[in-house]
Chains A and B, each alone.
Chain A
């Protein structure tokens, strides 16, 4: 990116938040409330991100004690953003981001450079596609990611098809099973490769069981059939290595296949800026303030790691917003050797990747850890231990499930102690 020409003004801002979905909204609000100058950039025509198409209820149980729909949940944050007069650029896409926080932004009639003192990455995530799954077969019409189908049905008044199969039991797929049923489509089945569902239990109950839609675990689509329109899918059971078992194949006629097979944090910009990413989450490696390894660039929400509940996205993003505002005002202590946080047995990843000490003004003297377990457990135990085996905390969980994020916290003083003694924190589940 070269410096813009004289005729193109370069805009300077303290803090730029990229993305106006739940994470970006909460981050911008928190930063503004902390007294910062904030600009929010949103690529769509409206704020709220994916929440706009999530018209089902269940958002805000933690935060507002109510079961709101997605647009309503977003609406509350948008109202607050307007009260605070946070400037917003809508229909605007960030094309480039450099390590020194120069952004190239584009919108109708305008391509310009913005220099920011701090940036919050809140671009959300994208859906894994058929290509990434390597499903054999034809390429007929009628194969959609569940999120794209949700967009068509709930935003554009377009019905993708009438006889539906769903691959993957992620929440969007479950929600769409009910949604399509309510609109008169016949949902034949949901197929899940894993021996457990990757959706929330209440969604299994309310979206599938209520409507008599069968869920087949350890089953996957092995062939997509149809030269023009989808005619059906061939499914098979899989063994422990997730390989199709011979003799279990059957053909399920359908005209539409929805894929709900995982979400990938959107991090093209982070990559361009040279930010280190986690190979497990696909998001940035951050400290407890959500700061990446490029000073002044923060990440939160589904761009950081894919969440199960939007309430937690808002919480995490507020932490990022406060910290970014502190960074701009010079109040964020400079990080030296941080305390590393590592997943132990039974844990896939832990957020944050490390805790910078001294921290922080971005919250109370507690450090929040979010993590996911590798497999479902009943009556499980979560342990926070130092790398030399000292148990700092032990919590019982009647139920641990990979689909559900687990939260724990430790006092900042415990991290200070770990730092003094040069230790690492490990989070494990059994």
Chain B
């Protein structure tokens, strides 16, 4: 690669849902004048979506939780409204199942009414207050004296959206540099305003620099001398429940949040894949461990207890996995609660940072991307491209969910749709192959999991993981040391024996 390839108009740091949404939004545009509009993304992990974007409740919020006039209130409502079109174009699973925010006692009522008036001010469509009888037409057996129904609340695949945004951005000309952590930023001259040193040893230059580094965005801003911003990492732990319980929850059900809660409270969330999540907790973690995604025994016990309280017939075997995700917070532990997003061009001209994009960051992401595009356009006049390809070609979603006859037909033309690799989720070899051959070149086991949904079922990869390993070795030439779960260190230490046919 020649040096010229590393010169960009816009560089984005961080390939979470926000960075990828910005990348795709910029890809929809060309420069009004002059040569090609070059956009690059730098990501320290071996794939996109490995941080907070794959570690959350995967809920699209309606916008009732935020103060009128706040940035996130506005971006939430706007982003939510953009999602149907986006998910249709990118074939991302989304279900508009609505949400009931439920007051259990009289004490909850002021909080509930506050949410309603916030929603009204923010322009949340279709809100309705419901008594218990009305709520029960939506969710049989639900407790509570009054509920606020928000029909635009939805569930989505959060990593599915992030990956789709990235792959579509790439198909439209954006460069993704994975395994490339930003280790330093220098200021330059003219069109080479920024020189960004990557952990790959290369220097990337750009005219504009966008910091969407999530849990690390204050560290990136500090590289340009902006030291008055600070991010705290606040962990949320979850349990994933077996798909046996699919259909139990007809809608999202949330408690009324307290004024100083750092999150939205522990609750049950159905996922688009048919699982249920219990969580998230909210625990601030030490500065140096921002990406420590540990599960703790105390919280796990809380979540189990809460889960059993909400779903009394839960069996031990229904808890198939736990995971954690960390919120990038601008509010310190002693203050709690949460602050509005900070999205601004900083005191360093051409340097835009996005701070504290916690909930509702996923919902807001397309609207954030539009806002950042306008900030970019002030420096580089932009026009919409007429050759932008908004859709992901050749991607059919999950094969097992297609009608039987369509499956039978597809198998005839693509025989590998007949070979099932992941038994629990019924993922075929063809889908695994598509995931392995993803255009971003991400080859970790998690990359395959997030794209094909293999290893996500109740056996947690016990059946399919060895088969995927065999496939990667036999058909893609992997050596034992080439296998990674996410990043960090290889899964295996080597061959048992050398000699023979090796492999």
- Asked if A and B form a direct contact in the complex, defined as CB atoms under 8 angstroms apart, the reply is yes
Interface residues of A (CB under 8 A from B): 1-2, 4-5, 8, 43, 91, 93, 95, 104, 106-112, 126-127, 129-132, 134, 136-142, 145, 147-148, 151-153, 155-162, 183, 222-223, 227-229, 255, 264, 268, 279
CA distance A152 to B291 in the complex (A): 30
Interface residues of B (CB under 8 A from A): 240, 291-297, 300, 304, 315-317, 319-323, 400, 404-405, 407-408, 411-412, 415-420, 423-424, 426, 429, 459-460, 462-463, 465-466, 469-470, 473, 480, 484-485, 487-497, 500, 503
B296 and A145 contact, CB distance less than 8 A: no
A139 and B293 contact, CB distance less than 8 A: yes
Q: List A contacts of B466 (CB < 8 A).
A: 148, 151-152, 155-156
- Partner of A130 from the list B412, B460, B494 (CB cut-off 8 Å) is B460
Chain B at the A interface: SS class:
mixed
Closest residue of A by beta carbon distance from B428? A106
Q: List B contacts of A222 (CB < 8 A).
A: 297
CA distance A37 to B313 in the complex (A): 42
Closest residue of A by beta carbon distance from B426? A95
A139 and B323 contact, CB distance less than 8 A: yes
A129 and B320 contact, CB distance less than 8 A: yes
A132 and B412 contact, CB distance less than 8 A: no
A136 and B297 contact, CB distance less than 8 A: yes
Q: List A contacts of B503 (CB < 8 A).
A: 157
Q: A1-B404, A159-B495 are in contact. Are A91 and B304 (CB under 8 A)?
A: no
B316 and A132 contact, CB distance less than 8 A: yes
Question: How distant is B442 from chain A, measured CB to nearest CB, in Å?
Answer: 16
Question: How distant is B443 from chain A, measured CB to nearest CB, in Å?
Answer: 14
Q: List A contacts of B459 (CB < 8 A).
A: 126-127, 129
Q: List A contacts of B470 (CB < 8 A).
A: 156
Closest residue of B by beta carbon distance from A93? B420
A to B CB contacts below 8 Å, 24 in the list: A4-B404, A106-B420, A107-B418, A107-B419, A110-B418, A111-B411, A127-B459, A131-B320, A132-B319, A139-B295, A140-B489, A148-B462, A155-B466, A158-B494, A159-B493, A159-B495, A160-B491, A161-B493, A183-B496, A227-B488, A228-B488, A228-B489, A229-B488, A268-B424
Closest residue of A by beta carbon distance from B414? A109
A106 and B418 contact, CB distance less than 8 A: yes
Q: List A contacts of B408 (CB < 8 A).
A: 4-5, 8, 111-112
Question: How distant is B318 from chain A, measured CB to nearest CB, in Å?
Answer: 9
A131 and B419 contact, CB distance less than 8 A: no
B489 and A136 contact, CB distance less than 8 A: no
A110 and B411 contact, CB distance less than 8 A: yes
Q: A108-B419, A228-B489 are in contact. Are A126 and B462 (CB under 8 A)?
A: yes
CA distance A153 to B407 in the complex (A): 36
CA distance A255 to B293 in the complex (A): 19
A109 and B495 contact, CB distance less than 8 A: no
CA distance A111 to B343 in the complex (A): 52
Contacts A132-B320, A141-B491, A162-B493 known; 9 new A-B pairs at CB < 8 A? A43-B420, A95-B400, A110-B418, A131-B460, A139-B293, A139-B295, A139-B485, A140-B488, A158-B469
